[in-house]
């Protein structure tokens, strides 16, 4: 009996050593996946279902298993290749709905430049002059571009210590362009209203020979050896580039890699963003105008905080070639100025196709500064004005001013069943794709902001947006674009609180133009704003109407204490 027990023990031991143990080891190796393992377990699918709100049966999961493993191999294969931020996807958003006919103002073009402008007592008093006024002074040789450029450069150096609105001064380039502008004028060559006018540009546009930082630590030493189309167009118009203005890191907010950009009206608070430096510098009289961008409020928000006039043009109006991409279907380029008149002069120079940005469409811009507004049909989002919000009193006063101007304000409202807020996943998914290399490399840890609402977390979270949901959101967007166009096409302009309801998200999704202007101050003496919406590709009518409003008010003429020249 003892011999039998010993034999059984030996057999069991050998079974364990040669069969059970190796099987267990092999099972463990295949079950415990490394980072590079392409096997997917049924439990992985179950967990993924929770992230996407889905529920498949056991049989369905088993069928999916092999296909998901194949997808994973394809994902990893693509990640072995680098895609430059400048490469767009093969999907281009078109804001034009079926049956759309672009509006065409009946008036002739007229930039509306004054015949004569008097020089002030000191050169620095020109700091807050409008572009139209500066243009006449330069054209009439009452001031040189070099003098104007030198004055603005000195102001930038002096006040940037407080405002933190400049990443890089382009002083050598500015003086070279200013000298050329004066030389050409002496030779009888005049390029138009922007000839010799100094400006600043948001530091997500490439300028040869200078860093293009995108406001973010990982890119603070980045040199892009090209000029953005907007830079080229402004150079052709004779404008003088003073410097590259700050932006919140990767076009969000006012926090960039070195500091927070400040509002000149209250340097204790940020200037908002992401066109933070563009609005701050323009409001403080450090540049004659600036160029900004908007994806979801990045012109409207800092213009509100700093008291500037911002134009967010129709999607597909201004080239984004040479600019950082955040959302290929939502990014828009526009001027940040002191007045709607100035915005029109700048927009005239920068709009139109360039053969590079495939989203661009070629429609005329027939701006007439002196056109009447009596025949225009004006609506307003009545229900938005009935809500309680900061600046409501100033907005209601704006409506009264318009009525006193003879404007018949017609109540309108946005009526849609589209889940508008859900469509933000479009921006999040596109932004995550634009900066996927940052997420995969772990360099997103270098960004200053790391909270739940900051880009690093948004990029990572967006990785779990299903492609089907992204496409479904864009299908809803197509319906929304049609619905909103059906609403606004019966009006020339619609007046709205700048943050009223969900109009800011809606119009950034549909691609409609907006002009935001200062309309007073709150109890803390900070600027407030109101916004005017227009039809697709009809910036001319929109800017003409807003100019008429500003001609009857004057809020855009105020200068921030400590930076102004009026006292």
What would the DSSP string read from start to end of 386-437?
TS--TTHHHHHHHHHHHHHTT--EEEE-----S-GGGGHHHHHHHHHHHTHH
In a domain, 20, yes or no: no
pLDDT at 561 over 80: yes
Q: Per-residue pLDDT tens for 302-350?
A: 999 999 999 999 999 999 999 999 999 999 999 999 999 999 999 999 9
pLDDT of residue 9: 57
In a domain, 521, yes or no: yes
CA dihedral 76, 77, 82, 86 (to 10 degrees): -90
Q: In this structure, what are the phi and psi dihedrals at residue 371, rounded to the nearest 5 degrees?
A: -70, 145
Lowest-confidence range among 78-82, 98-102, 172-176, 281-285?
98-102
In a domain, 2, yes or no: no
Question: Which residues, other chains included, contact 439 with Cβ-Cβ below 8 Å and sequence gap of 6+?
Answer: 432, 456, 459, 460, 463
Portion of the chain with pLDDT greater than 90, in percent = 90
pLDDT of residue 22: 46
Task: Tell me which residue of 217, 215, 214, 212 sits closest to 447, measured CA to CA.
Answer: 217
In a domain, 186, yes or no: yes
pLDDT at 398 over 50: yes
pLDDT of residue 23: 46
In a domain, 209, yes or no: yes
At 177, which CATH number? 3.90.1300.10
pLDDT at 133 over 50: yes
pLDDT at 26 over 90: no
| Beta-sheet pairing, 240-245 with 166-169 | antiparallel
Q: In this structure, what are the phi and psi dihedrals at residue 302, rounded to the nearest 5 degrees?
A: -70, -30
Report, as residue numbers or ranges, the catalytic residues. Answer: 202, 274, 298
pLDDT of residue 107: 79
Residue with tokens 């928000």: 301
pLDDT of residue 333: 98
| Beta-sheet pairing, 289-294 with 332-337 | antiparallel
- Residue range 237-246: mean pLDDT, rounded: 98
Alpha-carbon distance of 289 to 543, in angstroms, equals 16
Q: Per-residue pLDDT tens for 430-477?
A: 999 999 999 999 999 999 999 999 999 999 999 999 999 999 999 999
In a domain, 388, yes or no: yes
Q: Which pLDDT band holds residue 100 (cuts at 50, 70, 90)?
A: confident
Crossing angle (nearest 10°) for helices 171-186 and 131-139: 50
Residue with tokens 């093969």: 90
Average pLDDT of the chain, as a whole number: 93
Domains: count for the chain: 1
pLDDT at 51 over 80: yes
pLDDT of residue 3: 47
To the question of pTM greater than 0.85 for the whole model, the response is: yes
Domain with 386, as residue range(s), is 123-362+371-419+449-557
In a domain, 518, yes or no: yes
In a domain, 329, yes or no: yes
- Residue range 53-76: mean pLDDT, rounded: 93
């Amino acid at each position: 009996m003892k011999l039998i027990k010993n034999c059984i023990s030996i057999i069991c031991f050998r079974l364990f050593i040669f069969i059970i143990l190796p099987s267990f080891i092999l099972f463990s190796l295949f079950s415990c996946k490394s980072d590079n393992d392409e096997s997917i377990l049924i439990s992985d699918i179950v967990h993924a279902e929770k992230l996407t709100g889905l529920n498949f049966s056991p049989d369905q999961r088993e069928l999916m298993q092999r296909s998901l493993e194949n997808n994973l191999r394809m994902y990893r294969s693509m990640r072995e290749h680098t895609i430059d931020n400048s490469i767009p996807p093969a999907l281009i958003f078109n804001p034009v709905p079926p049956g759309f006919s672009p509006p065409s103002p009946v008036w002739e073009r007229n930039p509306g430049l004054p015949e004569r402008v008097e020089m002030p007592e000191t050169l620095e008093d020109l700091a807050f002059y409008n572009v139209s006024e500066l243009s006449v002074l330069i054209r009439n040789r009452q001031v040189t571009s070099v003098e104007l450029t030198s004055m603005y450069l000195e102001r930038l150096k002096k006040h940037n210590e407080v405002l933190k609105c400049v990443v890089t001064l382009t002083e050598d380039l500015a003086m070279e362009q200013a000298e050329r502008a004066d030389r050409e004028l002496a030779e009888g060559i005049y390029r138009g209203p922007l000839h010799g006018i100094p400006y600043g540009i948001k530091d997500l546009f490439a300028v040869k020979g200078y860093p293009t930082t995108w406001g973010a630590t990982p890119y603070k030493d980045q040199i892009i050896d090209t000029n953005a189309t907007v830079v080229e167009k402004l150079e052709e118009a004779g404008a003088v580039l003073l410097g590259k203005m700050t932006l919140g890191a990767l076009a969000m907010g006012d926090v960039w890699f070195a500091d927070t950009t400040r509002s000149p009206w209250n340097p204790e608070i940020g200037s908002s963003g992401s066109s933070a430096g563009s609005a701050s510098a323009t409001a403080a009289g450090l540049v004659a105008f600036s160029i900004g961008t908007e994806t979801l409020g990045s012109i409207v928000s800092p213009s509100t905080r700093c008291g500037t006039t911002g134009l967010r043009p129709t999607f597909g109006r201004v080239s984004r070639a040479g600019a950082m991409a955040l959302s290929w279907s939502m990014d828009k380029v526009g001027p940040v100025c002191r007045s709607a008149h100035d915005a029109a002069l700048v927009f005239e120079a920068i709009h139109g196709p360039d053969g590079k940005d495939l989203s661009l469409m070629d429609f005329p811009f027939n701006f007439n500064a002196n056109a009447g507004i009596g025949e225009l049909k004006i609506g307003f989002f009545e229900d938005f004005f009935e809500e309680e919000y900061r600046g409501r009193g100033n907005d209601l006063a704006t409506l009264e001013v318009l009525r006193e101007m003879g404007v018949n304000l017609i109540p309108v409202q946005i009526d849609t069943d589209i889940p508008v807020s859900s469509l933000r996943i479009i921006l999040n998914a596109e932004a995550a794709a634009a900066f996927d290399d940052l997420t995969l490399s772990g360099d997103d840890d270098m960004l200053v902001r790391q909270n739940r609402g900051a880009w690093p977390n948004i990029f990572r979270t967006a990785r779990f947006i299903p492609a089907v949901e992204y496409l479904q959101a864009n299908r809803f967007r197509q319906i929304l674009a049609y619905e909103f166009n059906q609403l606004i096409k019966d009006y020339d302009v619609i007046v709205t609180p700048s943050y009223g309801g969900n109009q800011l998200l809606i119009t950034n999704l549909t691609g409609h133009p907006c002009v935001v202007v200062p309309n007073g101050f709150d109890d803390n003496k900070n600027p407030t704003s109101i916004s005017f919406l227009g039809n697709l590709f009809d910036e001319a009518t929109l800017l003409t109407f807003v100019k008429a409003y500003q001609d009857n008010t004057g809020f855009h003429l105020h200068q921030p204490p400590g930076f102004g020249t009026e006292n």
